[in-house]
Homo-oligomer: A and B are copies of this chain.
């Protein structure tokens, strides 16, 4: 008997028919003799609808009351799913975040899970019940309801899998698994059978939008076996684990793009130590997250620094820099939000120095100009014109998967 945590996203529980489908997946697993804890998101657009309702009444409502409001979405989908399971005839109980023992910090709207008290969960599992748990939420030390931020249900599921020592954590979504590129964009994209936590983490951060990156970090830390699969197709999904076997893997596991990016460039900075420190500590203190940083090779008198931030932070970052122009000592700020980041990710890259070069070659052949480059051990990111991002993904994907085809 295995213990399996299954997570179903909003699109998987959007209406009565879909909830019945989820109930069937859960009870099929249960009837095979496994214990099941299922974590559900709110139905379809429920969360957005509630946010809209709140905005109509008070656009600057407190985080506490927003969480009080938003947490109802999962409570509704979980109660309905439990009813669907009752109709099938299996023993079941639905639990809210606080009933399931989720304790978080006080950060309303983006709370962090501090611990999960498993007494009630264990009690219900011992009664041989299927347990349905509201994702995305918990209780803080004031006994007030908190939410974990968008996509937090993935994190709820992984946390449960970790504390219950589950054998597997299945993330059901509306895609079949993790692809080498967005299949809507690249029809040749291939579904991966397996991927490492680190690769998945780079892909999640890069906007592949399959798994919430906090959940992947947590899965890596607690060594939770993840599987991403579709609640509709019934096909095998993609397993996410520490080490991936298989000699025939391509050097890269995926190509992703992220258009939520803006670049700021500071020119004419004094060529003295501490300049970068001043700039980025100013931004960090003001909660502006910086992604890629590039510093030009210092000439005798001055140097240039470019960096990227999320689009929503661009204006604030510029304002902060302008306000501190004297202290930072630069000539000019240049900003652009018509860029996109295109990345390739793959653990195999470390031992294959030609991978980055192959990516640049593919872009060169397609006449796509690279504006910035950033690399890590398992990732190469380039900044290109936003208009060229989709074509860039296609030519890079073709380059690597054609290469793979040739090898066979």
Spell out A's residues near B (CB within 8 Å): 16, 19-20, 50, 53-54, 56-58, 60-62, 64-66, 68-69, 71-72, 75-76, 78-80, 82-84, 86-87, 93-94, 96, 99, 120, 143-145
Contacts and interface: CB of A to CB of B under 8 A. Distances in A.
A79 B75 contact: no
Nearest to A70: B79
Most buried by B among A19, A56, A57, A84: A57
A314 B203 CA distance: 64
A69 B94 CA distance: 10
Copies of chain A in the complex: 2
A300 to B, nearest CB: 56
Contacts of A82: 62, 65, 68
Nearest to A73: B72
A17 to B, nearest CB: 9
20 contacts: A16-B53, A16-B57, A54-B79, A57-B87, A58-B83, A58-B84, A60-B86, A61-B83, A61-B86, A62-B83, A66-B79, A66-B83, A68-B75, A68-B78, A69-B79, A71-B75, A72-B72, A72-B75, A72-B76, A75-B75
A65 B65 CA distance: 24
A65 B96 CA distance: 11
A107 to B, nearest CB: 18
A251 B62 CA distance: 53
Given A54-B80, A65-B94, A72-B75, 19 more contacts: A16-B53, A16-B57, A53-B76, A53-B80, A54-B79, A54-B83, A57-B84, A57-B87, A58-B86, A61-B87, A62-B82, A62-B86, A66-B79, A68-B75, A68-B78, A69-B75, A72-B76, A96-B145, A99-B143
A85 to B, nearest CB: 9
A225 B343 CA distance: 69
A336 to B, nearest CB: 37
A403 B80 CA distance: 57
A8 to B, nearest CB: 15
A83 B61 CA distance: 5
A69 B19 CA distance: 14
A66 B76 CA distance: 10
Contacts of A19: 57
Contacts of A69: 75-76, 79-80, 83
Contacts of A76: 50, 53, 69, 72
A143 B120 CA distance: 10
A68 B79 contact: yes
Contacts of A16: 53, 56-57
A93 to B, nearest CB: 7
Contacts of A68: 75, 78-79, 82, 94, 96
A79 B94 contact: no
A86 to B, nearest CB: 6
Contacts of A57: 16, 19-20, 80, 83-84, 87
A79 B65 contact: yes
A319 to B, nearest CB: 27
Contacts of A20: 57
Nearest to A16: B56
A19 B96 CA distance: 26
